[in-house]
Chain A
Amino acid sequence: MAADRTDLSVTSPLREVLESREVELNLGPQHPATHGVYRAIVRLDGEKVVGIKSVIGYLHRGIEKWAEYRTWTQATPIFDRLDYLGAVLNCHGYVGAVEKILGVEVPKKAQYIRVVLDELQRIASHLLWLGTHGLDVGAQSVLFYAVREREAIMDLFEAMLGQRLLPNAYPIGGVRFDFPRGWVPVCRKFLAEFPKKVDDYETLLTTNRIWVQRTKGVGVVSAEEAVALSLSGPTLRGSGVNFDVRKAIPYSSYEDFDFEVPLGQNGDVYDRYLCRIREMRQSVRIIQQALDGMPEGELKGKVGRIIRPPMGEAYFTVEAAKGQLGYYIVSDGAEKPWRVHVRAPSFINLQGMETMCKGGLIADVVAVIGSIDIVLGEVDR
Chain B
Amino acid sequence: MTDETKTPETPKPAGDAPEAPAAPPKAAAPAPPKAPPGPKKWEPTGTVVENDVTTALKERFGEAVQGVPSPCGEATVLVEKGLLLDVLAFLRDDPRTAMNYLSDLTAAHYPVNDRKFEVVYHLFSLEKKHALRVKVKLDDREPCPTATKVWPGADWMEREAHDMFGIVFEGHPNLEVILLPEDFEGHPLRKEYPLGGDQEEMIRGNRYGKPVYLPDDLEEARKILEEERHGR
B126 and A328 form a contact (CB under 8 A): no
Name the one of B126, B133, B193 contacting A248, with C-beta atoms under 8 angstroms: B126
Is the CB of B70 closer than 8 A to any CB of chain A? yes
Q: Name the distance in Å between B45's Cβ and chain A's nearest Cβ.
A: 5
Give residues 132-161 of B contacting A (CB, 8 Å): 133, 151-157, 160
A332 in contact (CB, < 8 A): yes
Q: Which residues of A contact B108 (CB under 8 A)?
A: 330, 338-339, 341
Does A314 belong to the interface (CB within 8 Å)?
yes
- Quick one: closest B residue to A250, CB to CB? B129
* CA A89 to CA B15, docked complex, whole Å: 40
Q: Is B40 close to A, CB under 8 A?
A: yes
Let me know if A14 is at the binding interface, CB within 8 A. Answer: no
Tell me if B72 counts as interface (CB < 8 A to partner A): yes
A66 contacts B153, C-beta separation under 8 Å? no
Contacts of B179 in A (CB 8 A): 56-57, 60, 380-381
Tell me the count of chain A residues lying within 8 A, CB to CB, of chain B.
47
A-B contacts counted at CB < 8 A amount to 121
Q: Give chain B nearest CB distance to A96 CB in angstroms.
A: 11
Interface assignment of B5: CB less than 8 Å from any CB of chain A? no
Q: Is B131 an interface residue (CB 8 A)?
A: yes
Docked Cα-Cα span, A330 to B65, in Å, equals: 21
Among listed A34-42, A129-137, A225-233, interface-contacting one: A225-233
Bitwise interface map of A from 294 to 318 toward B, beta carbon under 8 Å scored 1, else 0: 0000000000000001111111010
Contacts of B69 in A (CB 8 A): 312
**Given A57-B179, A341-B106, do A314 and B74 touch, yes or no (CB 8 Å)?**
yes
**Partner among A100, A315, A339, A381 whose Cβ is within 8 Å of the Cβ of B104:** A315
Contact B195 A343 (CB under 8 A): no
The answer to whether B104 touches A343, judged by C-beta atoms less than 8 angstroms apart, is yes
Q: Is the CB of A315 within 8 A of B45?
A: no
Is B100 in contact with chain A by the CB < 8 A criterion? yes
B193 to chain A, nearest CB (A): 8
Interface residues of A in 332-381 (CB under 8 A from B): 332-334, 338-339, 341, 343, 347-348, 350-351, 380-381
Shortest C-beta distance, B170 to chain A (Å), equals: 20
Most chain B beta carbons < 10 A, residue from A65, A231, A309, A351: A65
Q: Which A71-125 residues have a C-beta within 8 angstroms of B?
A: 100-101, 103
| A227 CB contacts on chain B under 8 angstroms | 100-101, 126
Inter-chain CA distance A242–B193, complex, in Å, is 41
Q: When the two chains form the complex, which single residue of B122, B126, B164, B178 contacts A241, counting CB atoms closer than 8 Å?
A: B126
Contacts of A326 in B (CB 8 A): 103-104, 122
A326 to B133, CA, bound (A): 13
- With a cutoff of 8 Å between Cβ atoms, the chain A residues found around residue B76 in the complex are 313
Q: Would you list which residues of chain B between 175 and 196 have a CB under 8 Å from chain A? A: 177-181, 188-189, 193, 195
Given contacts A60-B180, A248-B126, A311-B44, contact A341 B104 (CB under 8 A): yes
The interface residues of chain B lying within 8 Å CB-to-CB of A333 are 40
Q: Bound state CA distance, A1 and B41, in angstroms?
A: 84
Q: Which of A66, A310, A348, A351 has the largest number of chain B CB atoms within 10 A? A: A348
Given contacts A315-B133, A328-B106, A328-B122, contact A57 B180 (CB under 8 A): yes
Asked whether A69 lies within 8 Å of B195 as measured between CB atoms, the reply is yes
Query: In the complex, what's the smallest C-beta–C-beta distance from B199 to chain A, in angstroms?
Result: 16
Are A312 and B45 in contact (CB-based, < 8 A)?
yes
| Contact of A273 with B by CB under 8 A | no
Cβ < 8 Å to B, chain A residues 204-248 = 227-231, 241-243, 248
